[in-house]
Amino acid sequence: MASVPMHQGLLLAGILFALGLTGLLVRRNVVFILMSLEIMLNAAGLAFVVAGSRWGQPDGQIVFIFILTMAAAEVSVGLALVLQIYRRFKTLDVDAASEMRG
């Protein structure tokens, strides 16, 4: 049972994480950036669950539950920030909010 590698699951997690990272870098809309963050967090959780399944232990699932909690907290604060950005700048473009001239 343990002889079968879980490469495929970890590969899927890696691909999903890379896709989320690509979306994060390419898109300029704040809502899409938050969605890409969700994809990346989900991919990280997938890697944990795959590893937990590999060893037959519940720890991977527990870490996924923590990631889920963190994602919920992050997205609620992030979406409140999106609302504030839209009220102040009347746009969802992140470049419009670069007031620090970074």
Partner 1 sequence: MDAVFYIAAIVAIVSTVLAITRLNAVHALLYLIVSLLSVAVVFYVMGAPFVAALEVIVYAGAIMVLFVFVVMMLNLGKAATEMERQWQKPGMWAGPSILAAILIGEVAYLLSNPSTLAFGAAVVEPKLVAIQLFGPYLIGVELASMLLLGALVGAYHLGRRTQGKTEK
> What does the binding site for partner 1 look like in residue numbers (CB under 8 A)?
1, 4-6, 8-9, 12, 15-16, 19-20, 22-23, 26-27, 29, 31-32, 34-36, 38-39, 42, 46, 49-50, 52-54, 56-62, 64-66, 68-77, 79-84, 86-88, 92
State which amino acid sits at residue 86. Y
List the structure tokens of 72.
Answer: 């919920």
Q: Exposed, middle or buried: residue 85 (CB in 10 Å: 0-12, 13-18, 19+)?
A: middle
Place of tokens 């923590």: 66
Three-state DSSP class for residue 93 = strand
Nearest approach in angstroms of CB 64 to partner 1 is: 5
Q: Is the Cβ of residue 19 or residue 94 nearer to partner 1 in the bound state?
A: 19
Q: Is the Cβ of residue 3 or residue 101 nearer to partner 1 in the bound state?
A: 3
Nearest approach in angstroms of CB 32 to partner 1 is: 7
Rounded distance, CA 42 to CA 75, Å?
A: 13
